[in-house]
Amino acid sequence: MDILSWFRQKSKPAERSENRTMLRPVAPRPKIWAIGGGKGGVGKTLVTSSLGIFLASCGKRVLIVDADFGAANMHTIFGINGSKTSLSNFLKGEVLDFSNLIVESGVMNLDLACGQKDSLDVADINEKGISMLRTALFRAPYDYVLLDIGPGTGASHLDLFLTAETGLLVTSSEPTSVENSYRFLKCLFLRKMRNAVNDSDHSVLKDALHRLFTNNWSQRVKTISDILQQLKLMDPQNGTLLDELMGGMKIGIIVNSASGAVDTGFGPSMERACADYFGVGIAHIGDIARDERVSESVRLKKPLVLHAPESEAAMALKKCFSKLVSSEERVSDRTSKGMVI
């Protein structure tokens, strides 16, 4: 489906839902990192568990939410049984207190919200359930919340990813993974645009986009970047507004199971391609080398960075973490000085 067809089908009011307060409000709200991607088996759980442990080792209070609906396995990585209730119980309103899902991971400062007992229909979660989860996460008494999001481009996956301030796309250099990664990013930005134009405060922006897609300009719209550029030419004020609404989230790419010079150059190439197609900066965070110690740690039910901290993959993950934290600190410093990001 091309961008024009997608917009015409999806540009309708989103389902409204009433948020419920699940946890006692705390300030400030936690920073949320989302780890996702278009394909399964590329290492999202490896990345999420490792980043959570690194953050916890720095003294941060961390919660990992296993949001791989229907295929949750974060509890297995940490070698624990999990809670008696599952994430699906909360998403369907069967459990109202989000804290009932939280268990200790065995790592100091790090807790888990598990989903190993998810019901078979958990993948059918609607916008109301996602809104409830988002509210609970914003009120959670942690410094960081890490979302391990399942593969695919379903609305629930995309909306959870868009909840975060920092999003990480985990991929590999295999053609199927590359194709799914670009598809995930395309759907992500279209979903974000749909959410923006369906906001009641931006009806004029929606009208401007409809004009863009119903006149001669539509023939020039081939990519997400085209939409932003052509709208600015046709309607500079609304073009600038859409540009601002599409910003605000930092997205990075991590290449897993990298091997050889070709794979090493894949991340920067993908970064440039994303800039051309999507018109926004997507940073290459780093590469994780193919390492047998990863499979070994899974079999032993112990996170890699604890089982084999000296391994090549663990050292690469630590470099990715350092780059993420360094970037976040630079953004915080600029923001505190009143600079526009």
Only one residue has tokens 């975060």, namely 164
Tens of pLDDT, residue by residue over 328-341, are 765 454 433 432 22
Q: Strand order in 282-289's β-sheet?
A: 102-107, 110-113, 62-67, 144-149, 31-36, 166-171, 250-258, 282-289
pLDDT in the model for residue 20: 43
* pTM summary value: 0.81
| β 102-107/110-113 pair status | antiparallel
Helices H / strands E in the chain, number of each: 15, 8
Tens of pLDDT, residue by residue over 242-281, are 777 776 678 999 999 888 776 778 888 888 888 877 777 7
**HSE on the CB side for 303, CA within 13 Å?**
24
CB-CB contact of 249 with 166 (8 Å)? yes
Give every residue of the chain whose pLDDT is below 70, as ranges.
1-27, 82, 116-124, 199-201, 213-222, 247-248, 262, 329-341
Q: Where are the domains of the chain?
A: 30-192+251-334, 200-244
Among 3.40.50.11260, 3.30.413.10, 3.40.630.10, 3.40.50.300, what is the CATH number of 30-192+251-334? 3.40.50.300
